[in-house]
A = this chain, B = another copy of it.
Amino acid sequence: MATSQSASPVRLAAETWEALFRAQVAVMRRLQSGPAFRKLAVNEYDVLFTLSRCPSGWLRLNELNDNVLLSQSSLSRLVERLEKRGLVARMPAPEDGRGVLLKLTDEGRELQKEIGREHVRDISALVAPALTPDEQKELRRLTDKLRNSL
C-alpha cells in the first residue's frame, strides 16, 4: 500500500487549490457582510482600489478587467455606474481610438480611502489572529508566486 493520501501530484494540486478557494470564500463572506461595504459593492470598491494604486492615475478598461472576476460586459456597466455616481472619470485613450482610460475623481478617491481604512481594519481582525507574521509573509509569497506564474 504505497498510495498515501496526497501521493499524486494532481491530487495535491487539487487539494491545494481547494484549500485556497475555501479560505478565500470564508474570509470574503465575512468581509463583504461587514459595514465597510454599505455604500459600495466589493467589486465596485475593488475597481476604485485598483485605480488608486495606479501610478499614472489612468488605467485602461481592459487592464482593469484582469484584476476583477467579472466579464467584460459586466465591468463595462459597473464602470458606467461608477461614472454616473461621480466616482470615476473617463477619457478616450490617446494612443488607441478604441480604448478608454479611467481615473478616480476626487470624490472617488475620498470614498476609496474611507472604505479602505475600514476594510483594512476588518482584514487585519481576521488575518492577524489566524497566522503569525512569518506565516503571513509566506502565504503572501506563495500566492504571489502562484499568480505570477500564470
**A binding-site residues for B, Cβ under 8 Å:** 6, 9-17, 19-30, 67-69, 120-121, 123-124, 126-131, 133, 135-140, 142-147, 149-150
**Chain copies in complex:** 2
Q: Which residues of B are found within 8 Å of A29, using beta-carbon distances? A: 69
User: Which residues of B have CB within 8 Å of A28?
Assistant: 21, 69
Instruction: Give the contacting residue for A138; candidates B15, B138, B147, B150; CB below 8 A.
Output: B138
Q: Is the interface of A mostly helix, strand, loop or mixed?
A: helix
CA gap between A13 and B10 in the complex, in Å: 30
Chain B neighbourhood of A15, CB < 8 A: 140
Identify which of B16, B25, B121 contacts A10 (C-beta below 8 A). Answer: B121
- Pairs across A and B, CB under 8 Å, 7 listed: A16-B136, A19-B139, A19-B144, A22-B67, A23-B144, A130-B146, A138-B138
A61 smallest CB distance to B (angstroms): 16
User: Among the listed B13, B20, B67, B137, which residue makes an inter-chain contact with A124, where contact means beta carbons less than 8 Å apart?
Assistant: B13
Using Cβ atoms and an 8 Å threshold, which residues of chain B touch A145? Answer: 130-131, 135
A82 CB, nearest partner CB in chain B, Å: 19
